[in-house]
Amino acid sequence: MKNAEAKMSFLLGLRSGGLLDTASLKAFERVSRIDFVGHQYSDLAHEDVALPIACGQSQSSPGSLARMFAALGASSGDRILEIGTGSGYASALLSQIGLSVTTMERYRTLVEAARTRFARLGITNINVIHADGSRGLVEEGPFDRIIIHGSIEGEVDRFIEQLTPGGALVGVLRVSHVAELTRWRRAEGSRSVEMDHFGRLDMPLLAKGLSEIL
């Protein structure tokens, strides 16, 4: 009963925070965060806080993920590319929303752990790739949606080119000391890009390389 009440409070908190999309809310309801955090943090699984994971990385707070998903606007027929698998929690949520998820992670330890979790949970529409995701995944594109769990400085053309017409990229745009949740949308029938901002959101800078040694 206590866990059910905590889950209900968790979902109501996401809704009051602005997550109104039914598919995304159902994803948060179906996917238990407890399955993606260490046992020492299980009491915090229903709290809106970021949590540490292996390899010195962190799992974003549910509220931050909810904001990113709202900006992403994915639907059931979408092919989604995720940069930064981490624990696999966001990947699992996305798998409940889109048709398929390809997720990239530079840390082999995280890749193997995520694959194990997905297999245990019976999630079959996620492909986990151990590679540097800082340039996307040209050979598997185009994608309807791309989500980056990190901050971007400079041009994002390399990702825009991997979107279908009308597709969207969501990440954090960092200009000097200001970091904003941003959506870039590739216009239908052209190469022009529409950009929208959704307020401050801080995430680590998207690093390049290193996947071969981690």
Residue type at position 130? H
CA distance 32 to 131: 27
In which element (H, E) is residue 146 found? strand 143-152
Q: Which residues are catalytic?
A: 60
Sign of the CA dihedral running 28, 32, 36, 38: positive
Check residue 205 and report its DSSP letter: B
- Angstrom distances, CA of residue 143 to CA of 48, 89, 122, 156: 29, 20, 24, 15
Contact 171/104 with Cβ under 8 angstroms?
A: no
110, containing H or E segment: helix 108-121
Inter-residue contact 111 to 128 (CB < 8 Å): yes
Residue with tokens 């992403």: 72
